[in-house]
Structures are given as structure tokens and as C-alpha cells.
Amino acid sequence: MDHAIDLFLDQNIRRNPYPIYAELRQNRPVCQVEPDGIWVVARHADVLRLARDTSSFSSSGFGVIMSPPTIGHNPVAESILVLDPPHHTQLRSLVSRAFTPRNMARLEGRVTAVASELSERLREMGDADVVAELAGPLPARIIAEILGLDPELHREFKRWGEHLAAVTPRTQEPLASAIRSTIGDMNRYFREVIAARRRSPREDIVTDLTRAEIGGVKLTDVQITSFLFLLLTGGFETTVNLIAHALMILADRPQDHDRLRADPSMIPAFIEEVLRFEPPLHGLPRMTTTDVMVGGQFIPARSLIVGLIGSANRDESVYVQPEVFDMDRESQGAMAFGHGIHFCLGAALARLEGRITLAAMISRFRRVKRLPGEVSYTCAISLRGPISVPMRFIPA
């Protein structure tokens, strides 16, 4: 491989990056790629090191990616996503309250109701885009309820999440203009919500954040807004990608569809293998704080480096026949949601929504099939998921 490859913007690679990942693991486990000579690491052990070693690999790499010159100010680039300890530790403890096991258990009934409603709609439609009609609306509606936002705006939340996920170092017009507009809309909306909660508190996360203190000092509106930007995307895009990929895999593997219908208790294992095989997060951006050696390769200080989670989850040194989807495998250690202190806040929510949605679909449909047409994927450094997947839903 003596040519530059673009792992993040080339649609041919985005549709199926795994052959390139395998070649990188074999021949160039640490190398530079497009755009702009970003360093990438492909092997499981090296990706794990990036996630764990916060002194050598700073999370400020996210900030570089999320605020290119064409976008300008982006509150996500000011959130806990870009912070290192000790500041990260203090702030994460606040927002993690939204995703505690207790809160997830309380949400189960509501997720079941929304999944049932959307599944019934698919039964009526027969043919539909699974992203537009299921994978997108469900998490948008649930995250709105978690944050105490207007559920009628769930379509706007979906668009906002998609735009924020689309930011890359090379984001150009007209997409850049649309993203800037979205950031402006989100800023205005969240400021209005924060002001309303200060006047009239509720039992929701926004109210909790207005009351929260760090070292005796209350959070500013700017800090709360950055939290809400992150929580909206963290509780949304990961689930969109998980649900869409789960249905695509079921369509490709009817034998697994039959197994799940016969034994729904296998659904959690199926979800775990989806997370390994097609993880919602594909890249873990970091910035080197000093000159460092990774996998025998010298990397200068202040270099942007991305751990390829999608590659790590198919590393032959960790998984037996990693290119084979096998719901019976033990997937412990798969880095579907990252690893370490920045482990994805929305991981528990994504698993819950994925499990319940799949149960709703399995009980109603004896088969799901992909319709003709090429699937396009998001162009992002950290996330990878299908934009649209036309499917046919055959009732049981």
C-alpha cells in the first residue's frame, strides 16, 4: 500500500472498510492517511493504548476534528469529550447521571412503547427506509424525553445529530453552511430551555445541570449548552447505527433471524456481536502530547492520531475468525463504544434501545430483506453508519 487512502471520506471504503483495515493490520498498522495525513493505528493493542494512556494521547484531538475552520465555533469541541483528567473526571460525573442503570431500567417501558409503535407502522408500510422510519426516530424521541426536551421536535433532533456527526476536518460548503445553521439553532433552543428551567425547575437532566456545582461553583450556560450538545449526539447517533446495522445483518443472515424468533433470549448476544462486527464508533481521535513510539513507529508531538475501533474489533490476534458474524462468540473486550475514561456515555442506552427494538421487530416479522440500491455511509472520523437503507418487512 504505497498510495494515500482516505478512510473517512471515500464512499467505496466507507461502505466496506474492513479489507483495508485487514491490510493495515498486516502491513502498516501505524501509518498516515487522508485527509491531511492523519495518523491511524489499526491493531487492537495499539488502539487500547490510545484509549488508556491519557498522558501521551490527549482527548483534545476530538476538538481539532469537531471545529474545522469552515465550521468555527462548535460547542461539542468544548465539551467533556475533549477534556483530560482531572477536569474530565469532575464534569463526567455530572452528565453520567442521565445514563445510570436505574434510569435505564425506568426507560424500558417507554422504549418498548415507541419500538412497538414504529414496528407497527413498518408493518403497514411494507417497504420503508429503516433509518428514516425506525433507527432514527426511536432514539431521537427517547433522548428528548431523557433530557426533558420537546418531544415534538424529535425530527429536528435527528437532523441536528446527523449534522454534528458529519463534521470532519474537510467539511466544505454547502454542508458547512448547513452545519453552522444547525449549531446556531441548537444554541438558541438550548439557551431557551436552560432559562426556562432556571425559572421553573422540572425533574429532568437540564434542571439537574442548572443546579449542579463543581467546587462550589455552578455551571455556566455555556457549559450546560456544551453538555446538551454532547448528550444529544451521544444518546442518538450510536443507537441509529446499532439498530440499522442489526437489521441489515438480519437481512443478510436469515438463519439468525430464525434463531432469534425461536429463542428471543439470544437477542442480547446478537446485539453484542453486532457491536463487535459493525461498531457504531469507528475512530477514536487523540492528540499526541509528546513525541511517542506506537507500534514501532515514531509520531511527533501535537500529531492528530485516530485509533481504528472498527479494525481493532476484527483483529486476528484477539478474535477467532473475526470476519465471521457469530452470535455465539464471547465478545468481551470489543471496543464498540470506545474504552477507558471516555467510554461512550450513551452505551447503556444504545444497548437497551437495540435490544428492545430488535425484540419488537422479531416478534412482528418473519423476514426482513434489503431492497436494491447502494447504501451510502456517513463521512465522519469517529462514527460510521448507513444514511439510508431501503428494506422490505414481511409480517409473521
Domain ranges, ordered by start, for the chain: 11-395
Q: What is the pLDDT of residue 262?
A: 97
Residue-level pLDDT at 2: 42
Q: What angle do CA 47, 16, 168 make, to 5 degrees?
A: 65
Kindly report the number of other CB atoms within 10 A of residue 16's CB atom. 10
Of 104-108, 186-190, 254-258, 360-364, the range with the lowest mean pLDDT is 104-108
Q: Is the pLDDT of residue 321 over 50?
A: yes
**CATH number assigned to the domain with residue range 11-395, chosen from the 4 options 1.10.357.10, 3.40.50.300, 3.30.70.20, 1.10.630.10:** 1.10.630.10
Q: Please report which confidence band the pLDDT of residue 1 belongs to, taking 50, 70 and 90 as the band edges.
A: very low
Q: Find, among 103, 115, 183, the residue nearest to 148 by Cα.
A: 103
pLDDT, mean over the chain = 88
Query: Could you give the 3-state DSSP secondary structure of residue 394?
Result: strand
- What confidence tens digit (pLDDT) does each residue in 223-274 have? 889 888 887 776 788 899 999 999 999 999 999 999 999 999 999 999 999 9
Question: Is the model's pLDDT at 87 over the cut of 70?
Answer: no
What's residue 198's pLDDT?
A: 93
Question: What is the β-pairing status of strands 297-299 and 304-308?
Answer: unpaired
Q: What is the pLDDT of residues 95-125, one digit of tens each?
A: 666 677 777 778 899 999 999 999 999 999 9
More confident residue, 380 or 288: 288
What pTM does this model have?
0.91
Mean pLDDT (whole number) for 15-35: 95
